[in-house]
């Protein structure tokens, strides 16, 4: 249900929003894929029985990682695979964030920025563990 609401918001409002604001190309691409997911805009195919009768028409999905329609099964499959890899012991999941002001720098040079970020994070974690 919620995936349809998100898609409806994109269908009704994204074009006006994109016309008003300058957006990075990857944002525009993602929004258009989510907007058009499982609609005629992405094409479709006919599912047929062995005798050649058309059973139904199915529209293609966008398969974008942020699409709530496409990603539900993929996310569950991914989580299941990770659960099988985890050791049966207590562990901690740590999330580091960067200030929003640095997003433009990250978009400019992802590889270099990511390398610097992980170097800094490594030093920070080692310092915390030594305390």
Is the domain of 24 the same as that of 64? yes
Is the domain of 112 the same as that of 57? no
Q: Categorize the per-residue pLDDT at 3 as very low, low, confident or very high, splitting at 50, 70 and 90.
A: low
Higher pLDDT, 131 or 44: 44
Quote the CA–CA distance of 106 and 124 in Å, as a whole number: 20
* pTM score over 0.75: no
Structural domain count of the chain: 2
Is the domain of 17 the same as that of 60? yes
Residue that finishes a domain, picked among 71, 101, 122: 71
pLDDT at 9: 93
Is the domain of 51 the same as that of 17? yes
Domain containing 109 equals 91-131
Task: Using alpha carbons, select from 63, 37, 62, 59 the residue that is nearest to residue 47.
Answer: 59
Is the domain of 95 the same as that of 66? no
Is the domain of 18 the same as that of 53? yes
């Amino acid at each position: 249900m919620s995936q349809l609401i998100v898609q409806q918001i994109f269908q009704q409002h994204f074009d006006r929003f994109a016309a008003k604001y300058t957006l990075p190309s990857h944002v525009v691409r993602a929004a258009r894929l989510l907007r058009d997911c499982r609609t005629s805009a992405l094409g479709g195919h006919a599912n047929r029985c062995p005798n050649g009768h058309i059973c139904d028409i199915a529209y293609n999905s966008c398969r974008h990682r942020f699409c709530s329609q496409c990603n539900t099964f993929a996310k569950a499959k991914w989580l299941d695979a990770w659960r099988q890899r985890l050791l049966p012991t207590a562990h901690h999941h740590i999330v580091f964030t960067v200030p929003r002001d640095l997003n433009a720098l990250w978009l400019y040079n992802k590889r270099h920025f990511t390398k610097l970020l992980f170097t800094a994070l490594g030093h920070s974690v080692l310092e915390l563990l030594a305390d």
